[in-house]
Amino acid sequence: MRSYLELALLSTVAVCASVLTAAGSSTADSNVVLDGGIHVRADVSSVCSQIGDALSSASALYYPGSINYLEDNYHWLLSSSQSSTCTVEPGTASDVGEVLQILGATNTSFAIKGGGHASNPGFSSTTGVHIDMSRFSSVTYNAGASTADVGAGLVWDDVYQELQPHGVVVVGGRVSGIGVAGFTLGGGYSWLTSQYGLTVDNVVGFELVLPNGTVMGVTEGSNPDLMFALKHGKGGYNNFGIVTQITLKTYPIGQIWGGLITYTENTFPQLAQAVANFSENNTDPKAQILTTYNSAIGFAGVTQVLFYDAPTPPDGLFDQFMAIPYFTKDVGTMSFLDLVKLTPSNATANTRGVFNTVSILDYSVDMLNVIANETTYWGSELTWASGFLVSFDVEPFLPSLFSHGTTSASAYPPSRAQPLLPLNLCWTWLDEADDERFWEAITQSADNVKAKAVSFGQNVGNAPLYGNYAIFSTPLEYIFGDQLARLQSIKQRYDPGNVMGLTGGWKVQV
């Protein structure tokens, strides 16, 4: 008999599935703008009405009390939300330009939200002016060029849905509900990454609105500097302007094979063997796994997602996973979109949480045992907290994952010298009073994992960390690596007034 808790845990395991790794370091960094609140001036509401006057009829402004206001401020994690003074839904790139110019001229804190899945507080929320990009929602397939123009306000599900009738797909999110913009601008680890690289490796162009209101098409040919900068996450972690549209390469896709299996703690040793064997020995770029270790009070389990880019996988490839006694199993031939929808991501609605990450080079049996131990250790250590869930996502891509898209440099990863396989820590809880203890604990846990990886001979002590998974206190050298100086000089050219410094996120300039 399974307990209620086991059932609840195993059925929600997928919540953080497909996410991150952790690595954090605990030094707070002043270059990270955590909370726009401190910059907010008393007259933000007059800035709101100034914006309202400047907008065309394609756009709208909302205040507290309206449903749009609530939806605009909504995030996947409650701790990533704030109550803004007003929200703006721009409907055209030129309106985005109007808004940015007013915000810059009035020195007003603001936020830019795509899908709202930022794991760090204040990265896409503010008490000032909140910009919601949801009106940028079109998908245009260019069959001749094998590309798709995708609006910055979409979630990946919508993009897959639109492209499915054409028999094509883009290199995007693995679970339901993730935003196209933040995901792409941060790097983007996909089910198709071993085959085609990161999402940024598959960007052909951006439409970008500069802080001075200029709307620019950015391509490798027209502007290699900005192209490089934007490939560093979140519009260069939103350092250079607001992206309104992204042009992505498309690839043929048919029915795929995959699904979701859950296992209980007693299978961890067998699972470690299977995952390590896949990680160390698989050479097939169409195969992918995502292994999520979860634990809550007194119970641990794993959610295993399997993926193969064909209606059936080669004989034997996933046999080890299929042979382990499972708790639930939903595996078969389905569409790419159906696989993504198997792991809904909106179940956390009222929880707080944070991510962290470690860059791993080898998911060996020893490494996986460490991760399993961290899972059960924190499951018993955090029992003072209410409603917590700790999870660790193991993401073993092929070591060649960074060999795609190298013709155009990208700021993430800041170095392609090592095949960094992200481990994502995703921890959630209920009580705001527990925030700091969780931030400390998740930092400690990532440090433990990193120290063990180093002790196993993995050269990851100073390895770059994935900014879409890293906790806000991560020192910037881990996010920007050797690319910081180049990014700062590009920033100087396109945002000399540091208008984008008024919004939260990883900052190339204070």
Ligand X SMILES: Cc1cc2nc3c(=O)[nH]c(=O)nc-3n(C[C@H](O)[C@H](O)[C@H](O)COP(=O)(O)OP(=O)(O)OC[C@H]3O[C@@H](n4cnc5c(N)ncnc54)[C@H](O)[C@@H]3O)c2cc1C
Helix (H) or strand (E) holding 234: helix 234-238
- 347, 430, 454, 476: which one binds ligand NAG (CB under 6 A): 347
Q: With respect to ligand X, which residue has the nearer C-beta, 33 or 368?
A: 33
Q: CB 175 → ligand X: shortest distance, Å?
A: 5
Touching ligand NAG, residues 195-224 (CB under 6 A): 210, 212, 214
- 11, 333, 373, 418: which one binds ligand NAG (CB under 6 A): 373
**346 is a contact residue toward ligand NAG (CB under 6 A):** yes
Q: What would the DSSP string read from start to end of 130-154?
A: EEE-TT---EEEETTTTEEEEETT-
Closest CA to 391 of 290, 500, 293, 268: 293
**188 is a contact residue toward ligand X (CB under 6 A):** yes
Nearby residues of 281 by Cβ (< 8 Å), 6 or more positions away: none
Number of residues that bind ligand NAG (CB under 6 A): 25
**152 is a contact residue toward ligand X (CB under 6 A):** yes
- 39, 130, 174, 486: which one binds ligand X (CB under 6 A): 174
Q: Which stretch binds ligand X (CB under 6 A): 114-122, 267-275, 304-312, 380-388?
A: 114-122
Rounded Cα gap, residues 343 and 334, in angstroms: 14
Pick from ligand X, ligand NAG, none: which does 494 bind, CB < 5 to 8 A by kind? ligand NAG
Our separate counts of H helices and E strands in the chain read 16, 20
**283 is a contact residue toward ligand NAG (CB under 6 A):** no
Question: What's the N-to-C CA distance of the chain in angstroms?
Answer: 56
**494 is a contact residue toward ligand NAG (CB under 6 A):** yes
Q: With respect to ligand NAG, which residue has the nearer C-beta, 168 or 302?
A: 302
CB contact at 8 A, 24 and 400: no
Q: With respect to ligand X, which residue has the nearer C-beta, 112 or 337?
A: 112
Q: CB 252 → ligand NAG: shortest distance, Å?
A: 25
Q: CB 319 → ligand X: shortest distance, Å?
A: 25
Q: With respect to ligand NAG, which residue has the nearer C-beta, 278 or 472?
A: 278
- 103, 505, 507, 508: which one binds ligand X (CB under 6 A): 505
Q: Which stretch binds ligand X (CB under 6 A): 182-190, 334-342, 356-364, 483-491?
A: 182-190
**383 is a contact residue toward ligand NAG (CB under 6 A):** no
Nearby residues of 269 by Cβ (< 8 Å), 6 or more positions away: none
**235 is a contact residue toward ligand X (CB under 6 A):** yes
**316 is a contact residue toward ligand NAG (CB under 6 A):** yes
Q: Give me the phi and psi of 199, to 5 degrees please.
A: -60, -45
Rounded Cα gap, residues 221 and 363, in angstroms: 39
Pick from ligand X, ligand NAG, none: which does 414 bind, CB < 5 to 8 A by kind? none
Pick from ligand X, ligand NAG, none: which does 123 bind, CB < 5 to 8 A by kind? ligand X
- 193, 262, 448, 474: which one binds ligand NAG (CB under 6 A): 448
Length, in residues, of the chain: 510
Taking each helix axis from N to C terminus, what angle separates 365-381 and 268-281, rounded to the nearest 10 degrees?
A: 140
Q: Which two tokens stand for residue 87?
A: 């929200």
Number of residues that bind ligand X (CB under 6 A): 38
Q: CB 75 → ligand X: shortest distance, Å?
A: 6
Q: With respect to ligand NAG, which residue has the nearer C-beta, 219 or 373?
A: 373
Reduced to 3 states (helix: H, G, I; strand: E, B; else coil), residue 281 is: helix
Q: What would the DSSP string read from start to end of 241-280?
A: -EEEEEEEE-EE---EEEEEEEEEGGGHHHHHHHHHHHHH
CB contact at 8 A, 36 and 126: yes
Closest CA to 188 of 19, 419, 407, 23: 19
Nearby residues of 44 by Cβ (< 8 Å), 6 or more positions away: 85, 86, 108, 109, 127, 128, 129
Q: Give me the phi and psi of 335, to 5 degrees please.
A: -80, 160
- 171, 185, 274, 394: which one binds ligand X (CB under 6 A): 185
Reduced to 3 states (helix: H, G, I; strand: E, B; else coil), residue 344 is: coil
Pick from ligand X, ligand NAG, none: which does 345 bind, CB < 5 to 8 A by kind? ligand X
Q: Which stretch binds ligand NAG (CB under 6 A): 225-233, 340-348, 391-399, 408-416?
A: 340-348
Rounded Cα gap, residues 19 and 125, in angstroms: 21
Catalog residues that contact ligand NAG under the rule CB under 6 A.
Answer: 39, 107, 210, 212, 214, 273, 276-277, 280-282, 316-317, 320, 344, 346-347, 349, 365, 373-374, 377, 448, 493-494
Catalog residues that contact ligand X under the rule CB under 6 A.
Answer: 16, 18-19, 76, 112-119, 123-124, 133, 152, 173-175, 178-179, 181-183, 185-189, 234-235, 238, 242-243, 345, 468, 503, 505
